[in-house]
Structure 1
Amino acid sequence: MGTAERQKAPQGGVDTARSRPPGRSGAPVHDNQARAGARSARDAVREEPYRPLWVEEPARRRRLPDPVRTSAVRAGLIIAVTLLQAMVAFLCTMAGSWLALPMVISSVASTVVATWSALDVWVTRQVWNQRNGVVSTPSSTARALRRERRKARRQARLAERAQARVRRQGGSKARLSHS
């Protein structure tokens, strides 16, 4: 029925179809009028080009591995608590409170722990890279050096094979008769 709503009548329990076009509330509209209104609204929607609400872009960086992300979150929380402690220690010192000395001592200890946790992120990342491999793109210089080394090894193997062949043949056939 287009935009028509089905409602139950309060007294007799009989269903009546009512259509309310947008902006109108009142008397029921005939079925064919409701269908015409619905059709024109659908046609208007079809004419507009489809525009998504947002366009997904690929991430610039890959997601951190789980152990590295865990240690990074832990380090972030520890650093946040350390900064909070340092601020409280400073304010207690300015206020001349008895709490200043314990807060300063705990802030120094927290600074050591925060430094350790930041190093933990770096070490965890290095260990993960070493265990799981990294996609590396060697520079052209490294590639050229490897190519030269491969070529030298190949030539050494060929020379060694030639020497072995000469030895197997006894050396007499390969010698010239200059003696």
Structure 2
Amino acid sequence: MGTAERYEAPTAGDAAHQRVQRSPEALDHDIPASRGGPEPAGRATAEEQPPYRPLWIEEPARRRRMPDPVRTAAVRAVLIIAVTLIQAMVAFLCTLAGSWLAFPMVLSSVASTVAATWAALDVWVTRQVWNQRNGVVSVPSSTARALRRERRRARRQARAAERAQRRIQRRGGAGQLSHP
């Protein structure tokens, strides 16, 4: 039986919602489940088809995304550490082979290890600096959050005072409650 015989002709909105119910014992994904007897020769109705189920469900991230400067430093550190490990492996293999390249590779591996340590420290320092400048949002008792809250409150009060002043000026009075 071909695909055209098994499915209804999809409409514009139903194209994404087409799905054939399979029996548990069906090994092939294209074999529809039988409903208590042979499949009718006609087309399947919309009532027989189960509701649309997406292939995957978006879940919120468990952790926040790293800030751009920290992520850049982390990528740089990972690349430097990978190169250092490759250099160390080449130095080791050259030493086992008795190659003349072993000594220069060992020296460059030592220098690379220093650079890798520096890169890892750079990630830590960059993260600390970013947290200090922008505040730690994950901690509920964050001082940065309290400072932002105070600044917002002060801005709201300043805007309210400015609106009140404009309202007084529009009325043309100097804040008089009544005319004598």
**2:96 corresponds to which residue?**
94
Distance in 2 separating the partners of 1:45 and 1:102: 75
| CA offset digits 1:7-63 (Å, max 9, x no partner) | xxxxxxxxxxxxxx8368xxxxxxxxx9x9648656258622211000111101000
| CA offset digits 1:46-89 (Å, max 9, x no partner) | 62221100011110100000000000000000000000000000
Counterpart among 119, 136, 140 of residue 137 in structure 1: 140
Give 4+ residue runs of structure 1 displaced > 3 Å after superposition.
36-42
| CA offset digits 1:90-119 (Å, max 9, x no partner) | 000000000000000000000000000000
Cα 1:44–1:100 change in 2 (3 A) is same
**2:125 corresponds to which residue?**
123
Cα 1:41–1:96 change in 2 (3 A) is farther
**2:32 corresponds to which residue?**
none
Letter in 1 for 2:140: T
Letter in 2 for 1:137: P
SS in 2 for 1:51: coil
The answer for unaligned runs of 5 or more in structure 1 is 1-20, 25-33, 140-179
Distance in 1 separating the partners of 2:132 and 2:97: 50
Bigger share in helix: 1
Bigger share in strand: 1
Answer with 1 or 2: which has the greater Rg: 1
- Note the aligned Cα RMSD (angstroms): 2.7
Letter in 1 for 2:131: N
Distance in 1 separating the partners of 2:43 and 2:120: 59
SS in 2 for 1:64: coil
Question: Given the alignment of the two structures, is residue 78 of structure 1 paired with residue 80 of structure 2, yes or no?
Answer: yes
Letter in 1 for 2:86: L
Distance in 2 separating the partners of 1:37 and 1:71: 55
Q: How many aligned residue pairs are there?
A: 109
Cα 1:96–1:51 change in 2 (3 A) is same
The answer for unaligned runs of 5 or more in structure 2 is 11-41, 143-180
Q: Give the C-alpha shift of residue 129 in structure 1.
A: 0.3
